[in-house]
Structure 1
Amino acid sequence: MASHRDVAIIGAGLSGLVLALSLHQQNIQSTVYELRPAPLDIGGAITVSPNALQIIDKLGIYESVLSEGYPAEAFHFRSQDDKPFDAYEIGSVEKYGYPGLRVYRRTVIKALLGKCAEKNIKIVFGKKFKQIISESETGVTWEFDDGTVGEADTLVGTDGIHSRVRSYLYPDIEPKFMNVMAIAATIKTSQVEMPEDYSLPVTIMSRTHGAYILAPNFSDGSELVIVKQRRIEEHDREGWKNILADKEGSVDFLRQGVEDFPEVVRQAVSAVTPDSVSIWPFYQVPKMERWTSIGGRVSILGDAAHAIPPSSGQGANQVFEDAYTYALVRGQCDRDSLASVLPKWQRGRQERIDRLIILAAQMNVRRLPESTQSEFCSEAVGTEDFNMEWLFKPDLDKMFQEWLAV
């Protein structure tokens, strides 16, 4: 039987590692269990905004992450004829204390792992969570796929969109496919003759063909990612396998209608090769009444609790907020009061998530062809609000205290 720990964390992705470090700051011991045999080295670049960068800073890895990323303060919009018409902030050192940062997910995970090692936080690889065996007033017992059993005071599932821990709370809930997937490819920025003073990252719109996103990666901007969204129906396992394997078909999709876009897009797409293509479908977890068991000993957070579409630019950022604020809860209350305190934490977090889901739907509408926009109108209520102070400059410690006071 596993040795006793205060918190068992299932999943060593962004949310699990941020949670472990945040708990350490609250003098709470944890062990992280990861199903893969080695640290995650997958996933493309993400945009980390000031609300998450302030947490990265609190955890002591800001400088190392900043040095590997591409700082930017706005995401720009251009029309099909390449005229600028809009922009929204993704960060501002002057206004929020931090820029927006384009950085590879693996870079952030590497920095988090290094800090965990420095703090002697235990991470166990090759341990696949299977199921909760029992939950009592004193702790949680669970089983791994290899038949071994673990025990802890509490268990937190940070195991992603297809969470096994979530099935303990909601056996029948499955992620909902949003009928949209993104196709992305990377090229060298030098393969494009970028016009002088051309602001990146940028979304270039077409009423007929949707939009292309061009975003730089690495601190010198030497890599450029091209992204286009595609309307698609749900598929079974075999169907998705075929779609993911069809790299040539993905390149063909990226090239559809490109002749109607500016030269910068035509050059970028012409440089794409099948081996640089990546595909990810957009899923969303149905809104759940609880992220925590009745007894408070089992919780979920991050994508396990609320997968936010990438079009909001906040999926990874909200993972940081979840983990950091959950740790604040654990630091401010004893384990026996979790059942009454954690629902207050969830309500506060849910308010921000709900607002972001609306923002994501609005962004999906902007980036899809006019012919398919009506399918998203029910979710994309209102107009976009690009005054992002509510999002980018939260006083998380004060916010947390306000949640608990309700």
Structure 2
Amino acid sequence: MSKEVSIIGAGIAGLTLAISLHTQGIPCAVYETRPEPQNIGGAVMLSPNSLKLFDDMGIYDGLKRLGYSFDSLYFRDLAGSLKETYPFGSVERHGYSGLRVYRFELIDLLLEKFNANNIPIHFNHKFSHVVSESEDTVTWQLVDGTTKTSSLLIGSDGIHSRVRKYMYPDLSPKFTGIAGITAAVPTANLKLPCPDYKMPVTIMSPSHGAFVIAPQKQDGSEVLIGKQMRMAELSREGWEKFYADKDAATAFLRENAEVFGDIAVTATEDIPHEHTNIWPFYVIPELDSWSSDNRRVLLVGDSAHAVPPSSGQGISQAVEDVVMLAILLGKGRGEKKDLGWWQSFRQNRIEQILLLNARIDRRRLPKINGSEEQDDDEQGFDLDWLYGIDAVTEVEKYVSGS
């Protein structure tokens, strides 16, 4: 079916892209390696720039019923003094509070839209390679040997994208030298400094890094706890051992907990292994193009760029990617210059967010002796540029030439 857009990957980016294309009247289908919908990963952060787009899709009310709403993240020193406030949303300022919701719950809401709109999704279909492409179509193959022809093939298959290998066979994700270790524990376990203690909070220590606590679930009855570490990159086998060693992960979370106070000590006393996650921070070197020479193969989300979780923008940026792309294609603007504008607009956003990530990482990692890292605490966080964007309007402005 050559008019169909084929999307590889049924993560949040792929599902959101399919719904957005359907809204534009563009037929599409999603192909996913796993045999069933993903029920992996913990809770994710969503900010006003993506929540507006989810609202347009009709799933925001469902997200709000499931997630924990908040407006700010707080940075405190070991004495408990408030050092900085990081805005994450505001109904008055940006139309939405920030939201923390489990990834699988977001995926379930997206899949409800699939069912309601009869959008095809094929599980247990693993992409193999691109066979050929012309000016109008792309032919590609699944690992079982099935060959398909589509108008477009869009890779939303993550940071280790197989689709990207077609365009960049020698490119590999780049490890940043940072990993995050997190766990989920009941909020009732925590001994709070005071009854009205504000969270999410990052408790900072110059010599020991930071201890992060972020409520999740609609009633805030559970919290994520987490710390970041500097480390060298491991081999594939090394990462597998690292992921599997939950005892080491919980030991790292407990290490120096007393430095961060009773709240950290009580948070780490009972950590279920099944609620522990290990997340190495990888990025994608900036790509020359997110589309192939004939523009029949495109990359979105983590396949095109990767945003480590420090600023909570990974999903929001992927959603911006795909909504803007779908509107552009829906208006018949898929030529080289159009895709070039889209990539440039998106890449500029990603670069700004990676700089924001670096600022946050400096607050969450132990300071290195003799480091020339600048202390930018006095700058504060003005994030109107991040939350104030209207992705739909930006495409319409481009198309109209204004």
TM-score (norm 1): 0.95
SS of 1:20's partner is: helix
Aligned to 1:192: 190
Q: Which amino acid in the other structure matches residue 368 of structure 1?
A: L
Mean alpha-carbon deviation: is it higher for 235-244 or for 91-100? 235-244
Question: 1:382/1:261 Cα in 2 relative to 1: closer, same or farther (>3 Å)?
Answer: closer
Query: Conserved in 2, the CA contact under 8 Å of 1:297 and 1:338?
Result: no
The CA distance in 1 between the partners of 2:129 and 2:206, in whole Å, is 48
The CA distance in 1 between the partners of 2:191 and 2:90, in whole Å, is 27
1:365-405 C-alpha deviation (Å, 9 max, x unpaired)? 11100127948x49x99975521111112121221234454
SS of 2:268's partner is: helix
SS of 1:142's partner is: strand
Q: Which amino acid in the other structure matches residue 201 of structure 2?
A: V
Query: Conserved in 2, the CA contact under 8 Å of 1:345 and 1:403?
Result: no
Aligned to 1:397: 392
1:328-351 C-alpha deviation (Å, 9 max, x unpaired)? 1101125xx523311111111111
Aligned to 2:173: 175
The CA distance in 2 between the partners of 1:9 and 1:88, in whole Å, is 35
The CA deviation at 1:240 is 1.1
The CA distance in 2 between the partners of 1:329 and 1:303, in whole Å, is 20
Pairing 1:215–2:231 present: no
The 5 A counterparts of 1:53-64 are 53-64=51-62
Pairing 1:267–2:266 present: yes
Stretches of 4+ aligned residues off by more than 3 angstroms: 372-375, 380-385, 401-406
Aligned to 2:337: 340
1:68-107 C-alpha deviation (Å, 9 max, x unpaired)? 0000000111101222111111111111111100001111
The CA distance in 1 between the partners of 2:44 and 2:51, in whole Å, is 12
The CA distance in 2 between the partners of 1:78 and 1:50, in whole Å, is 24
The CA deviation at 1:246 is 1.1
Aligned to 2:42: 44
1:102-121 C-alpha deviation (Å, 9 max, x unpaired)? 00111110000000110110
Mean alpha-carbon deviation: is it higher for 266-275 or for 157-166? 266-275
The 5 A counterparts of 1:107-186 are 107-186=105-184
Pairing 1:367–2:378 present: no
SS of 1:319's partner is: helix
The CA deviation at 1:260 is 1.4
Mean alpha-carbon deviation: is it higher for 243-252 or for 125-134? 243-252
The 5 A counterparts of 1:176-325 are 176-194=174-192, 195-325=194-324
Aligned to 1:84: 82
Mean alpha-carbon deviation: is it higher for 138-147 or for 381-390? 381-390
Mean alpha-carbon deviation: is it higher for 307-316 or for 394-403? 394-403
Aligned partner (choices 16, 22, 25) of residue 24 of structure 1: 22
Aligned to 1:387: 382
The CA distance in 2 between the partners of 1:401 and 1:353, in whole Å, is 21
SS of 1:71's partner is: strand
Question: 1:325/1:121 Cα in 2 relative to 1: closer, same or farther (>3 Å)?
Answer: same
SS of 1:107's partner is: helix
Query: Conserved in 1, the CA contact under 8 Å of 2:84 and 2:380?
Result: no
SS of 1:165's partner is: helix
The CA deviation at 1:149 is 0.7
SS of 1:371's partner is: coil
The CA distance in 1 between the partners of 2:51 and 2:64, in whole Å, is 9
Question: 1:130/1:289 Cα in 2 relative to 1: closer, same or farther (>3 Å)?
Answer: same
Question: 1:184/1:300 Cα in 2 relative to 1: closer, same or farther (>3 Å)?
Answer: same
The CA deviation at 1:29 is 0.8
Q: Which amino acid in the other structure matches residue 360 of structure 1?
A: N
The CA distance in 2 between the partners of 1:186 and 1:248, in whole Å, is 15
- Stretches of structure 1 lacking an aligned partner (at least 5 in a row): none
Question: 1:254/1:382 Cα in 2 relative to 1: closer, same or farther (>3 Å)?
Answer: closer
Mean alpha-carbon deviation: is it higher for 352-361 or for 271-280? 271-280
Mean alpha-carbon deviation: is it higher for 60-69 or for 239-248? 239-248
Question: 1:150/1:202 Cα in 2 relative to 1: closer, same or farther (>3 Å)?
Answer: same
Query: Conserved in 2, the CA contact under 8 Å of 1:47 and 1:102?
Result: yes
Aligned to 2:11: 13
Aligned positions, number: 400
- Stretches of structure 2 lacking an aligned partner (at least 5 in a row): none
The CA deviation at 1:6 is 2.5
The CA distance in 2 between the partners of 1:232 and 1:306, in whole Å, is 22
Question: 1:403/1:179 Cα in 2 relative to 1: closer, same or farther (>3 Å)?
Answer: farther
Percent identity between matched residues is 43
